[in-house]
Amino acid sequence: MRGCRTRTLPFFLILIISMTAAELPAAPIADYRPALVPFIGEGGKVLAATRRFLRGAEARFLVLDPERFAFREMDSQAVLAAPPAPDGAWRETPFARALARHTSPPFPLQNNGLREAERPVPGFFLTADLCPSGRPLDRVLFAELAALPLKKPLPVALALSGRWVRQHPEDFAWLKGQAAAETIAVTWVNHSLTHPYDPAAPAERNFLLGPGIDFQAEVLGLERLLVEEGLLPSPFFRFPGLVSNQRLVEELASLNLVPVGSNAWLAKGERPRPGSIILVHANGNEPEGIRLLREFFTRQRETFRQRDAVLLPLREAFGQP
Ligand SMILES: [Zn+2]
């Protein structure tokens, strides 16, 4: 009898588990924390777990691929059972080197971090910020993207704030739907949980430099929201207002996130050139930026059609050895 059960149960067990997994709501995320566990993954590649958390009762890690600048979620047992990376191996990876380059002095108050591609690239990087806003998502931007003579999904980096998600659950669901339908390929950039802003305060005491801000909670809170929504964060952060100082940048480095600025904030009159990180706001607060983006797309239409230039995912902006 016992032997019979061991032969027959696994099949039914698998069936039951797969049915239950499909029907149950996603398990809640808890205990979301930074980590740094470099290890040797498949093919001898150096990887590192940089976040740990509980998904229901299961211990999980977010594991960063330092060549693709992308996360995957892994069971903690698989990470902890892997051979540890040799001393210093993580620091020599393309990601760790890029992080060091973009978080070292000087520490300008405005626009610190990656502002354009580090190597010649045949295209542009589109970033759109979703700061808190009373207005709905500017869907015109996505209609413009979908109309481009370029192969889908179209890469776009969306700098997401948690407060915007809470204000616009339907727009957020629509964006997730666009990504799931592979109209767009979204790099979800962390733009902080609450995106504090005081219109009366000077930059040095505004945004995440305001009084009483818990920077780590702002960073990890937004990531946790993404993970709860079934999305993978990216290892990129855009400072609200593009405002930061040495303390914030060093804290960001310790959390293994690269700051991303822009050299082509369209509404400020900056014009894109190849390799530019273009900045617009998709939160309805900057129609002038969207208008200028439409003009830019119109000017580029023929180069896009000929594939002389394309839109590129943010990870391809990094390229120094
Ligand atoms: Zn913002």
Instruction: Please tell me the least confidently modeled range out of 16-20, 139-143, 227-231, 232-236.
Output: 16-20
What rounded mean pLDDT belongs to the chain? 93
- Tell me how far CA of residue 57 lies from CA of 53, 60, 61, 128, in angstroms: 10, 9, 13, 35
Asked, for residue 236, whether it belongs to a domain, the answer is yes
In a domain, 104, yes or no: no
Contact 235, 213 (CB under 8 A): no
How many angstroms separate the alpha carbon of residue 191 from the centre of ligand 1?
A: 7
Is the pLDDT confidence value at 314 over 60?
yes
Measure 240 CA to ligand 1 centroid, in angstroms. Answer: 4
Number of domains making up the chain: 2
Statement to judge: residues 171 and 29 lie in one domain: no
In angstroms, what is the span from residue 12 Cα to ligand 1's centroid?
A: 50
Assess whether 126 and 187 both reside in one domain.
yes
Q: Is the pLDDT of residue 302 over 90?
A: yes
Domain span including residue 58: 25-91
Picking from 227, 216, 259, the residue whose alpha carbon sits closest to that of residue 241 is 259
How many C-beta atoms lie closer than 10 Å to residue 177's C-beta? Answer: 10
- The pLDDT of residue 151 is above 90: yes
Which residues are close to ligand 1, an ion, with C-beta < 5 A?
Answer: 129, 131, 240
Q: In angstroms, what is the span from residue 195 Cα to ligand 1's centroid? A: 7
207-243 in b/e form (b: 16+ CB < 10 A) is bbbeeeeebeebbbbbbbbbbeeebebbbbbbbbbbb
% residues pLDDT > 90 (the chain): 91
Is residue 134 situated within a structural domain?
A: yes
Is residue 3 situated within a structural domain?
A: no
In a domain, 103, yes or no: no
pTM: 0.91
Confidence of residue 251 (pLDDT cuts 50, 70, 90): very high
State the pLDDT at residue 240.
98
Distance 105 CA to ligand 1 centre (A): 23
Asked whether residue 98 is assigned to any structural domain, the reply reads no
Segment 266-294 mean pLDDT? 98
CATH number at residue 304: 3.20.20.370
Query: Cα of 267 to ligand 1 centre, how many Å?
Result: 14
Could you tell me if 150 and 226 lie in one domain? yes
Q: CA-CA-CA-CA torsion for 12, 16, 21, 23, nearest 10 degrees? A: 150
CA distances from residue 213 to 65, 192, 209 in whole angstroms, order as listed: 30, 11, 7
Question: Lowest mean pLDDT: which of 7-11, 138-142, 171-175, 242-246?
Answer: 7-11
Whether 284 and 199 share a structural domain: yes
With cut-offs at 50, 70 and 90, classify the pLDDT of residue 320. low
Decide if 208 contacts 240 (C-beta within 8 A).
yes
Quick: pLDDT tens for 281-300.
999 999 999 999 999 999 99
Please state which of the ranges 24-38, 135-149, 190-204 shows the lowest mean pLDDT: 24-38
